[in-house]
Amino acid sequence: MYEAPPVAVVGSGIAGLFCALRLAEGGRKVQIFTKRRTQDSSTNWAQGGIAAILDKTAKEAIEAHVQDTLAAGAGTCDETVVRAVVSEAGDRIRDLLELGVNFQRDEDGTLHRVREGGHSSSRILHAKDATGREIERSLIDAVSHHAGITVHSDTIVVDLIRRNHSNPTAGVEGLWVQHENDVEVRTVSASAVVLATGGAGQLWAPTTNPPVSTGDGLAMAARFGAHVKDMAFVQFHPTSIEHPSRTFLITEALRGEGAVLLDDEGLAKWRMSGDEDPAPYSFTLKTSPKGSMGTRDVVARAIDANLKRSGRNAVWLVTEHLDAERLTDRFPNIQRMLSDLDLRLGMDPIPVRPAAHYTVGGVAVNAHGQALDDANRPLPGLYAIGEVACTGMHGANRLASNSLLEAVVYAQRTAAHLLDSEPYLGSSKLPAWRADGLLPVEEHGALAHDLNSLRETMGREVGIMRRNARLARAQRRLDLFAEEVDNTWLRCRPTKDLIELRNMVQVAMLVVKDASAQQENRGLHYNADLTDAGHESTP
Ligand SMILES: Cc1cc2nc3c(=O)[nH]c(=O)nc-3n(C[C@H](O)[C@H](O)[C@H](O)COP(=O)(O)OP(=O)(O)OC[C@H]3O[C@@H](n4cnc5c(N)ncnc54)[C@H](O)[C@@H]3O)c2cc1C
């Protein structure tokens, strides 16, 4: 009997790994393709935690989580999705615990919870300040012990293959992939393809995202014919720091513990005053009564405006009024990174600035994670989960620590939907990658230069504060980049750099298009030439 080809899962963060596990447990063969090492993902870098109410009967607590999420989303979340995800949180956390995720516990064994900006109560589970690493560790461990799952690391997915070349609504039947050491592009058939490729933070400089976050899944889905939406909404994390190895995020849980944002003037005034509490001296109070604990968009905008005014590179995150020992115990990972810069929690002001952090928009999906086309029809066999997807959960702004939750909930749903469906048997003959006459890329230096220019353009013209003229300038530059990259693409054999750059230019164009189409300021989109929607996304 002809056996259905395996399900192809693209990406090995929380979404891809969890979905692969569930599929394999249900008896499906799964191939995971991941473009670097398995652990290279945003998931592995997540610090703060995962928001969840465990007790399904705690109606008030669940309702409060729903309301905080809706408020952060500035009136544009899909309330049905929010309610479903928040309600399923307890089950998914129990799954993660069963898989061996060691969330932090109090001395009596109860799970420790913390609070972050935008949350009205302490509902965030964490593993000190390296929650993502702990989740990734457990999932990789489980995946590596499952005979039904094959992991292809250092293997980039180049593109998706349609069942009918000219009709995306016929569905997907495979992918083209390239191993790091190969020039060849291999054809892989798949009974379904689950995109779990994460976000596109690498489009901006600076970013908190790992190098793998280049928006590949978004670009592939758009080329396939899927609807990609809400790309104007890009979350900039207010507090990142330049570490020699990378832009390093300082979790807002530190502000939850009492850290305060001050500019030079505020810091000097506070020190002169002899007051215990620096909070009244924060410039962030000018934009929100919540000061340093406002939602990310409000705080990031306050810092951005402050830096533009002062011409400086960073403001200060002040912790010297707090207990140094307690902070070091709670944030050991952050302290380790700070030590490399000769900075100590509870003693030194930490220089911070905003950096691109989370891609709120993405591939439009339904409740099963099925990718939709422009007419809202599911594209057979194609799914998108995690940061690459746009489920409607986050609206115009993501509430802190809701993304790991959304990813795991949709990973489960997609696996369940696939297990309930008849597997697609595939066709006997899939098209090979067109390689005839293609030349090697002559100059990778030119690609690196284009990449830097692209990131600089996005940072300067399509950053936290936008303007019509800036968006138009960005569009003109992107048109030029696109032309150059397309020329190279048509002449040359694909390489990882070229594949990523092409995807990034395409995703950048989706961002600028959506940002230019916005008629009002809402959530994470702020254009100084538009009026406000009247929806403050600060709960
Ligand atoms: C520094 C940092 C801190 C964060 N902290 C939190 C937090 O505390 N709480 C929270 O809820 N969220 C947090 N987030 C956001 C959260 O981590 C991400 O939204 C989430 O981990 C995304 O999971 P994912 O599985 O969708 O994608 P990822 O974890 O990013 O995984 C994507 C995978 O796809 C692979 N991939 C991409 N393109 C291709 C391709 N073409 N071919 C093959 N493989 C490909 C990548 O290599 C990677 O394995 C944080 C993010 C960052 C960057």
Question: What CATH number does the domain containing 468 carry?
Answer: 1.20.58.100
In a domain, residue 36? The reply is: no
Task: Return the residue whose CA atom lies nearest to atom 33 of ligand 1.
Answer: 11
Domain boundary among 336, 354, 372: 354
**Active-site residue among 123, 162, 296, 477?**
296
Question: How many whole angstroms from its chain centre is CA 147?
Answer: 29
Distance 247 CA to ligand 1 centre (A): 15
Q: Is 194 exposed, middle or buried (0-12, 13-18, 19+ CB in 10 A)?
A: buried
Confidence of residue 537 (pLDDT cuts 50, 70, 90): very low
Residue 296 among the catalytic residues:
yes
The residue whose CA is least distant from atom 53 of ligand 1 is: 209
Q: Is residue 381 a part of any domain in this protein?
A: no
Which pLDDT tens digit goes with each residue over 316-363? 999 999 999 999 999 999 999 999 999 999 999 999 999 999 999 999
Structural domain ending residue among the three candidates 354, 370, 404: 354
Q: Is residue 59 part of a domain?
A: no
Q: Which amino acid is at 225?
A: G
Residue in 184, 318, 186 with CA at minimum distance from that of residue 259: 318
CA–centroid distance, residue 9 to ligand 1 (Å): 14
Question: For residue 341, is it within any domain?
Answer: yes
What total of structural domains would you count in the chain?
2
pLDDT in tens, 452-503: 999 999 999 999 999 999 999 999 999 999 999 999 999 999 999 999 999 9
Q: Which domain holds residue 322?
A: 238-354
DSSP character string of 25-53: HTT--EEEE-SS-TT-SHHHH--S-EE--
Write out residues with Cβ below 6 Å of ligand 1.
10-16, 33-36, 40-43, 45-50, 131-132, 156-157, 196-198, 208-209, 212-213, 216-217, 249, 358, 386-388, 401-404, 407
Q: Could you tell me if residue 259 is inside a domain?
A: yes
What is the overall mean pLDDT for the chain? 94
Determine which residue's CA is closest to atom 35 belonging to ligand 1.
11
User: Which pair of structure tokens corresponds to residue 407?
Assistant: 């990813």
Spatial separation of the C-alpha atoms in residues 76 and 47, rounded to whole Å: 27
Q: What does the pLDDT average to over 264-280?
A: 97
pLDDT at 430 exceeding the cut of 60? yes
Residue 67 pLDDT = 97
- The distance of Cα 250 from the centroid of its chain, to the nearest Å, equals 16
349 and 247 in a common domain: yes
Q: Cβ-count burial of 187 within 10 angstroms (0-12 exposed, 13-18 middle, 19+ buried)?
A: middle
Q: Is residue 298 part of a domain?
A: yes
SS3 state at 249: strand
Pair (350, 448) in one structural domain = no
Q: Is residue 262 part of a domain?
A: yes
The answer, yes or no, to whether residue 535 has pLDDT greater than 70, is no
The enclosing domain of 253 has a CATH number of 3.90.700.10
Domain end position, chosen among 304, 333, 354: 354
**Burial profile 238-259: b = 16 or more Cβ within 10 angstroms, e = fewer:** bbbbeeeebbbbbbbbbbbbbb
Distance CA 23, CA 421 (A): 12
Cα 198 to middle of ligand 1, angstroms: 5
Please indicate, yes or no, whether the overall pTM of this predicted structure exceeds 0.85. Answer: yes
